[in-house]
Amino acid sequence: MAQFPSGYTFPVLNSDGTFSTTQEDFADVFVRKELFLNSGLWSCGYNTNGQLGLSDVVHRSSPVQVGALTNWKQVSCGFYHTVSVKTDGTLWSVGNNNTGRLGLGDLVNRSSPVQVGLLTNWKQVACGGYHIASVKTDGTLWSVGYNTNGQLGLSDVVHRSSPVQVGLLTNWKQVACGQLHTVSVKTDGTLWSVGYNTNGQLGLSDLVHRSSPVQVGLLTNWKQVACGQLHTVSVKTDGTLWSVGQNTNGQLGLGTVVSRSSPVQVGSLTNWKQVACGAYHTVSVKTDGTLWSVGYNAQGQLGLGDVVNRSSPVQVGALTNWKQVACGYTHTVSVKTDGTLWSCGYNNTYGQLGLGDVVNRSSPVQVGLLTNWKQVSGGYYHTVAISSNDLPD
């Protein structure tokens, strides 16, 4: 099987079938499926709705493998549900389904992953509080679930229990979901948002909800986006970090607690690589491998050894080998370049930190001893991660 060197760039396929002359490195958002051909899905934490996919509703405080399949590629966690993409391009969902968010055409909860339809061209999935948005390999965008605030982007406020295409465009690249809003990046570098907007999280300079995607400004250099409960944070291709929305806990990283309705740059640095948002906190990885956090910290989710809120990003420790970070509602989970998995924050009752207990942590603690973790996602009170013994990164 072909192997690509680190930093390999892929030409961008335009909607008209041509390739742009600008090449873009997708490593920060998507990971090659060759890394996941022998991969396992593992989950821990809150499981009342079966969102761990373990065929029961028993909470777990240590990661447990989901079934015996070994071809999981990407996973995303919502409040009480989990959705995953396999290397064969199929989409699978599990957990709470009372708004049809599992995309299975009904409102029945599941405790074991069930395939969403029969298609094999799903590329990336994101879970909101009660909805799902997904990008296919053909560049189309699809959504399903709760839609009272128009977060599905379908020009109405009607819930859906089966995925519906958002418009007709075929140039969607990456999507992220907040509790009740959805934000997406296109292949042309534009940023688009839809849904609930009471705190300005759509970045459209107002507080008006939208039921169809609206472009955020006119810039064409957006690279990756993440959504919290009521805020949105994005990385541009120039390495700058931008935030918008609710800021009552300083989660925008702007040194204040003033909410914003238009994106504002976080500091002046140009080496931000990947960002993740919890309910009221934000955690980011820089290109130098350092980890930074900001916002609400009552459960220690910032990983700074205390429970003090921050309104400007603070480095988590001194290490420079952080690779990918994800946030749950009030916890944070991260993967290092050595393949180890680390967690901090709220862990009481449910064990979502995967540390074998229900004790909160205010500094990152290693989850077990494995060194083959590839990708992790955090839900409301649960965590799901993918491990793999395939090619090195």
- The token pair at 62 is 């240590």
Residue 284: inside a domain:
yes
Number of domains observed in the structure of the chain:
1
Say which CATH number the domain at 239 has.
2.130.10.30
- Do the domain assignments include residue 16? no
Assess if residue 19 is contained within a domain: no
Residue 191 counted as domain residue:
yes
Those residues whose C-beta lies under 8 Å from the C-beta of residue 376, and which sit 6 or more positions away, are: 75, 324, 326, 333, 334, 335, 341, 383, 384, 385, 386
Structural domain span for residue 209: 31-388
Pairing of strands 160-165, 141-145: antiparallel
User: Is residue 220 one of the residues assigned to a domain?
Assistant: yes
Tens of pLDDT along 288-339?
A: 999 999 999 999 999 999 999 999 999 999 999 999 999 999 999 999 999 9
pLDDT digits 0-9 by tens, 238-296:
999 999 999 999 999 999 999 999 999 999 999 999 999 999 999 999 999 999 999 99
Q: Note the pLDDT of residue 390.
A: 65
What is the pLDDT confidence band of residue 22, given thresholds at 50, 70 and 90? very low
For residue 14, give the DSSP letter: P
Contact 366, 372 (CB under 8 A): no
> For residues 215 and 212, what is the distance between their CA atoms, to the nearest angstrom?
10
Q: What mean pLDDT do residues 187-205 have? A: 98
The pLDDT score that the predictor gives to residue 148 is: 98
Is 242 part of any domain? yes
Beta bridge partners of 227: 232
337 domain-assigned: yes
Q: What is the residue-averaged pLDDT of the chain?
A: 92
Sheet holding 160-165, edge to edge: 122-127, 131-136, 141-145, 160-165
Asked if the structure places residue 5 within a domain, the reply is no
Query: Is the per-residue pLDDT at 389 higher than 90?
Result: no
